[in-house]
């Protein structure tokens, strides 16, 4: 007897969830297909939704069918070609756009649909009974699952977990002379991809100790199995202001949260140095970087950016004191609310916290514009 039992897919549980759903769907479709064959109907169950859509809409484009059925364009085209072979549909040109093909139900296709309508009625009733016998609101659960996947796909869910596990293996270290070349290499990589290496870049990257370390600054590096994969620098730009600069993560390790780890260390360093505000120069071309900075509380404070660069830049800034006091205030209010109203007011507390965080966001945005650099 197999070590995994007599039903491997069932044995695998959540791991084979999608496969089990597919097996169930294939079993149901196979039974319906058998009914069609026994009634001499030359039709495949997998075509049903497209047939239904075309019968009630007459003519539809691939895009319209794709949006309606939530299937990919290739899947729609494949089904249409299969149905065309059975002379159930035909392709016609759009009168308004000759390049665009439309799918139209043929007379045979209409006859097929009208012929299977009595069968469809019995399938609907049998499905209803089958679902009721399960003792659960199966369709309701499926709808909830679909909505959850719309909010966050399985691709994103798995990737987030993989990235989280990956980040556990990342070590953040401070500058040492042996890392000088890595600092330049990592930054030259993205500069050449999006812009060019300007004289100011060359000066800073070739002299990190003089340009950053000696200016009450620090350079942090992300190491993965002894490979240097990312870096960020932070230095004092005025008595109470620190600048974050030269953030870089090598391309194959991007979108794994390395930039966030580096930013956390840079911001913490500035806080330890009693900085009241942070600033940085970036470009709207670097959308991912800008989203990262905004997630930390940075806001655009000057559309013109730095005159030191030939490339188009914008300046972003963040008031550290404002963020600290707002977080302190929010914590105090949440504790006060819990003490006053107790644990039996969870729904009201959720509304309260939503309003509180929206108010904080509204306050933070204008405050981060106040400091000019």
Helices 107-133 and 17-38 pack at an angle, to 10 degrees, of: 130
- Tens digit of each residue's pLDDT (9 = 90 or more) over 79-105: 999 999 999 999 998 888 877 889 999
The H or E element containing residue 371 is none
Among 229, 364, 241, 243, which residue's Cα sits nearest to residue 305?
Answer: 243
101 — phi, psi (to 5°)?
A: -100, 140
pLDDT given for residue 350 in this prediction: 56
pLDDT of residue 354: 59
Model pLDDT for residues 107-166, shown as the tens digit of each residue: 999 999 999 999 999 999 999 999 999 999 999 999 999 999 999 999 999 999 999 999
User: How many beta carbons lie within 10 A of that of residue 8, not counting itself?
Assistant: 11
Residue 168: other Cβ atoms inside 10 A? 6
Span 73-83, pLDDT tens digits = 999 999 999 99
Q: What is the mean pLDDT of the chain?
A: 87
* Rounded Cα distance, 245 and 67, in Å: 44
Backbone angles phi, psi at 235, to 5 degrees: -150, 160
Token couple for 320: 């550290």
pLDDT score recorded for residue 95: 83
Contact 368, 323 (CB under 8 A): no
Mean pLDDT, residues 239-258: 94
Contacts of 311 (CB under 8 A, 6+ apart): 195, 196, 198, 283
The pLDDT, as a whole number, for residue 338 is 63
Q: Residue 154, by phi and psi: left (phi above 0), alpha (psi -120 to 50) or beta?
A: alpha
Long-range contacts of 181-184 (CB under 8 A, 24+ apart): 182/221, 182/228, 182/231, 183/208, 183/219, 183/221, 183/231, 183/233, 183/246, 184/208
pLDDT at site 365: 44
Instruction: State the CATH class of domain 178-321.
Output: alpha beta
Task: List residues bridging with 218 in a β-sheet.
Answer: 234
Sign of the CA dihedral with 357 first, then 361, 362, and 366 last: positive
- Per-residue pLDDT, averaged over 278-282, amounts to 93
Residue 322: per-residue pLDDT = 63
pLDDT at 15 over 70: yes
For 60-72, the pLDDT digits (tens) are: 999 999 999 999 9
Q: pLDDT digits over 34-60, tens only? A: 999 999 999 999 999 999 999 999 899
CA–centroid distance for 137 within its chain: 29
3-state secondary structure of 334: helix
Mean pLDDT of 312-334: 69
What pLDDT is recorded for position 247?
95
Provide the 10 A C-beta neighbour count for residue 219: 25
Q: Using alpha carbons only, how large is the chain's radius of gyration in Å?
A: 30
Cα three-residue angle 212-213-218, rounded to 5 degrees: 90
Average pLDDT value for residue range 236-245: 93
No. of H helices and E strands in the chain? 15, 10
Asked if pLDDT for residue 373 goes beyond 50, the answer is no
Cα–Cα distance measured from residue 256 to residue 194, given in angstroms and rounded to the nearest whole number? 20
Q: Which residues pair with 89 in a beta bridge?
A: 105
What is the rounded CA–CA span in Å between residue 266 and residue 235? 9
User: With 80 as the cut, is the pLDDT of residue 250 above it?
Assistant: yes
Task: Give per-residue pLDDT as tens, 353-368.
Answer: 555 555 555 444 433 3
Residue 340's pLDDT is: 63
CATH architecture, domain defined by 41-151 = Orthogonal Bundle (1.10)
Name the 3-class secondary structure at 242: strand
What pLDDT, in 10s, does the model give residues 324-342? Answer: 555 555 556 556 656 665 5
pLDDT of residue 372: 28
């Amino acid at each position: 007897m197999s070590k995994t039992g007599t039903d491997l897919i069932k044995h695998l549980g959540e791991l084979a969830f999608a496969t089990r759903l597919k097996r169930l769907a294939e079993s149901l479709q196979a039974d319906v297909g058998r009914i069609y064959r026994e009634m001499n109907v030359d039709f495949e169950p997998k075509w049903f939704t497209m047939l239904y859509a075309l019968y009630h809409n007459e003519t539809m484009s691939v895009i319209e069918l794709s949006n309606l059925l939530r299937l990919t364009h290739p899947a729609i085209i494949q089904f249409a070609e299969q149905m065309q072979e059975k002379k159930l549909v035909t392709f016609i040109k759009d009168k308004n756009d000759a390049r665009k093909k439309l799918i139209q139900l043929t007379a045979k296709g209409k006859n097929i649909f009208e012929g299977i309508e009595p069968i469809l009625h019995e399938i609907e009733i049998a499905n209803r009974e089958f679902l009721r016998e399960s003792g659960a609101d199966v369709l309701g659960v499926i709808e909830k699952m679909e909505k959850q996947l719309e909010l966050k796909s399985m691709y994103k869910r798995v990737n987030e977990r993989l990235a989280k596990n990956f980040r556990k293996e990342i070590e953040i270290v401070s500058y040492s002379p042996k890392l000088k070349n890595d600092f330049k290499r990592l930054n030259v990589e993205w500069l050449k991809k999006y812009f060019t290496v300007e004289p100011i870049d060359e000066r800073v990257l070739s002299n990190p100790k003089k340009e950053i370390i000696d200016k009450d600054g620090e350079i942090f590096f992300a190491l993965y199995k002894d490979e240097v994969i990312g870096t960020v620098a932070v230095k004092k730009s005025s008595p109470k202001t620190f600048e974050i600069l030269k953030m870089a993560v090598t391309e194959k390790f991007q979108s794994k949260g390395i930039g966030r780890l580096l930013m956390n260390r840079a911001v913490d360093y500035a806080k330890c140095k009693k900085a009241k505000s942070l600033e940085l120069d970036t470009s709207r071309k670097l959308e991912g970087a800008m989203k990262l900075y905004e997630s930390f509380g940075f806001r655009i404070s000057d559309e013109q950016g730095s005159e030191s660069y030939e490339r188009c830049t914008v300046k972003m800034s963040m008031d550290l004191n404002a963020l600290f006091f707002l977080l302190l205030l929010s914590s105090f209010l949440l504790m006060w609310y819990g003490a006053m109203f107790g644990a039996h007011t969870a729904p009201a507390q959720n509304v309260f916290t939503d309003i509180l965080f929206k108010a904080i966001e509204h306050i933070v945005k204008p405050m981060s514009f106040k400091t000019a650099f």
